[in-house]
Amino acid sequence: MFDLSIVFSSVLNGLTMGAVYTLIALGLTLIYGVLHIINFAHGAALMVALYGVYFLKVKLGIDPYLALPVVVPSMFVVGYFLQKVIINHASHGKDENILLVTLGISIVLENLALLLFNSDTRNIETSYTLSTVAVGPAMIAIPKLLSCLGALVVSLMLIVFMRTTDLGRAIRAVAKEKAGARLMGIDVEHVYAMCFGIGLSCLGAAACFLLPAFYVNPTVGNGFVLVAFTIVVLGGMGSFLGACVGGLLIGVIESVGGLFLGDSLGQVGIFVIFILVLLVRPQGLFGLKA
């Protein structure tokens, strides 16, 4: 039987990974909650951000954590214009069309990366990559601990932003009642694009926290897409609290499942949860309506 301390460190490991998942899922759930579209290009956008962080480190020697103020705003700009220039013009009144366009965007981004950077898996070397601290009986890598803290801070910032600022109020208004918000003088297209931008800047932050303990290749986003969808569906589409709880939960399930079943079957566990939640409780744990 497994030693309890192994299980404990596996849970801890899952929580840190889950924190990054949460960051990724927050962007997705924000976009879904407001625009009512499923951003299929989320994984590909994360891949772009990871490459950004990677090249900042390799070419300019900028530490991934110091790259935050560069990567987050650039991802915001990318998101803003993706929504404004492409996605906004493709809906023609049907949500499925947007799904197809974001699928197209993800195909293009992924294969452009393959064209430009080939399929090599790359990672970065930092002085702290391998340093660890002891938490109880387990050892935990410092980058993972930092990513956990970072995810917490970003989630809090996002929640405070949505509750206190004018833009946050406008976003919530548009999410609830688009036509009414427009009548109140809110520029709905602008709010949509801002949302998309904020969603992608969450990815920028996730990329900065992820890369020191992770790697990047053109298809790295694929692994995250379905996980992020699982979290969002599990937590309830559009629910921030759900994304946080779901992210941590999925991280732990993946880690503990991998411990007992082996890595590849642990992944199956996530997809099975995804399918079951979609079938049995599509509104998720914290969602209000079906």
Partner 1 sequence: MKDLRAIAIFAGLMASVPLFVHSGVVLNLCMMALFATLLSQSWNILGGFGGQFSFGHALFFGMGAYTQGVFQIQFGLNPWLCLVLAMGSSAMLGLLVGGLSFRYGLKGSYFALITLAFAEVFRILALSANFTGAGVGLMLPLSESVGNMQFSSRVGFIWLMLFWVVCALLITAWLRRSRLGAYLQAVRDNEDAAQALGVDPFQVKWLACGLSAALMGVAGAFYLQVFQYIDPALAFGPHTSISALVGAIVGGMGTLWGPVLGAFALEILSELTRNLFGELPGINMVIYGSLLILIMVFLPRGFAGIRWQGLQRDVKRTPSSGSIGVSASVKGLEERLQVGDALTSGAESQPKSDRSKVQT
Which stretch in 49-57, 109-117, 153-161, 197-205 sits in contact with partner 1 by CB under 8 A?
109-117
Q: Which of 17, 24, 35, 38 binds partner 1 (CB under 8 A)?
A: 38
Question: Which DSSP letter does residue 133 get?
Answer: E
Contacts to partner 1 from residues 118-137, by CB under 8 A: 118-119
Q: Which of 70, 103, 145, 167 binds partner 1 (CB under 8 A)?
A: 103
Among 145, 126, 147, 162, smallest CA distance to 205 is for: 147
Q: Which of 96, 177, 187, 189 binds partner 1 (CB under 8 A)?
A: 96
The overall longest dimension of the chain from CA atoms, in Å, is 63
The number of angstroms, rounded, from the C-alpha of 238 to the middle of its chain's C-alpha atoms is 13
Q: Which of 13, 106, 217, 239 binds partner 1 (CB under 8 A)?
A: 106
The per-type count for the chain, helices as H runs and strands as E runs, is 11, 2
Q: Does 271 bind partner 1 (CB under 8 A)?
A: yes
Q: Does 275 bind partner 1 (CB under 8 A)?
A: yes
Say if residues 255 and 14 touch (Cβ distance below 8 Å): yes
Percent helix, strand and coil across the chain, each to the nearest 5: 75, 5, 20
Number of residues counted as binding partner 1 (CB under 8 A): 45
Q: Which of 1, 60, 179, 279 binds partner 1 (CB under 8 A)?
A: 279
Residues whose CB falls within 8 Å of the CB of residue 52, separated by 6 or more in sequence, listed in order: 67, 70, 71, 74, 75, 204, 207
> What are the residues binding partner 1 (CB under 8 A)?
37-38, 40, 86, 89-90, 92, 95-97, 99-101, 103-108, 110-115, 118-119, 218, 222, 226, 229, 233, 262, 264-265, 267-268, 271-272, 274-275, 278-280, 282
